[in-house]
Structure 1
């Protein structure tokens, strides 16, 4: 009987060790190689050869993979998937953008990862060039070194006896009218390093030299975006509802941009007059009877309303209407 119990215990330990060996969580330095193919542009194909990053979080066998930017793929592209038997697969897809889909799959061996990404694009949105990205990637997990451990030996710290002190229960003051802290999803950048790059396929990239910030359908709109960022000294690009944000907004530090810029295309609204209305499965943000913005769910609509009021936005501004390539708010 004891032998059977021991064997069951041993199998459980080995299974646990196998499952642990498939822990992908961490940050990776990634090498990407492949091609970006265009159906209606010349040249019809361009090579992709870049270094980027990959961050993976894991809950059981479920994984979330966040790639940094590289040729043809924007930064912070988030994939959802699964891992098992030292293999993984994940997809990026959003019902609001059926003209784009991204798929990744591959294998993991210890701290090493390798795989492939396919990203087909079809027509249906301004600035989107039909074609596909087909790349292979490989890399190693970044090592996290504990500065308190040198050469594998943890320094001995002398133990000093102390007199026990009775813990005091902290008192958290309640401030009437204080709203709960909202978590923001923002990327910081240096406005002085923002530049426009020709993608070679009819589109133009706004970048700070590190991240692929936005892609524009023409040079005029890309240059206007750069001018807006420089003028208002914007240094944070924020999103609601990533990986496919239903709304973006830009900040100067922790404040809303204010003032004005010649040729700003803005619509004024009253933040105290904003309401939400359900329309089918979606939610409409409106200023009185004026329709402002549609959201895919109530959570994102409420979050947008909260941030608009938090920063005191009073104008919605656009670049490239009637199909704007960029939206920003200001006072």
Structure 2
């Protein structure tokens, strides 16, 4: 059928022209889409992912004081996570016992505590006797502890009668001043009625703040936050002391500040809740 009217011819030409324009526009869009897909291929996606991972890793490193901005190198603030050292921290010998990961991210094994070293005694049979310029606490024929004064020895009996075992930490150390590194504590309540209270000379601490530090000079220190508590001959002894201290809140001393030439020998340590 032939359209001879002016409007009919114009209508057919208009339809042809719009089809041509539509085809050209589709071709241009196809080219643009191909360019975008090429730019977002595997290599482009990898760069985007690396930038995202780098930002997250640097943020985690920033918690430890490193810059939080992303970077391209494997230093602080880059996509490589920062790890702790193994053994370079003087406060944690052999990699430390803090539980922080080493270079491979695995937990560092803790130091095994020294074995318990205890003697059993009869708390109802405790006496004191003078020995030269000092005083001894005895269980029958067995000497248990040496004190500088009679008052200290009497206070020692008042504490010891509440228990049946006296334990030592560091008794096998071979230091020249070995008594400095020997710590005492009690075990196994006796059940005897409480006698007169001794003179309490105690340091109060928070068990949650206990930590072993060292080697520090010639030994290892047990601290509660910034408060020094004890000084031990080995990391194993310090760990044993930490375990004992963790079940208590006060470290008490009898004979502290005595005037003997070897004052540590005449001092008795014990813990209280």
Task: Classify the TM-score, shorter chain.
Answer: 0.3 to 0.5
RCO higher in structure (CA 8 A, sep ≥6): 2
Larger Rg: 2
Structure number having the greater strand percentage: 1
TM-score, normalised to structure 2, is: 0.48
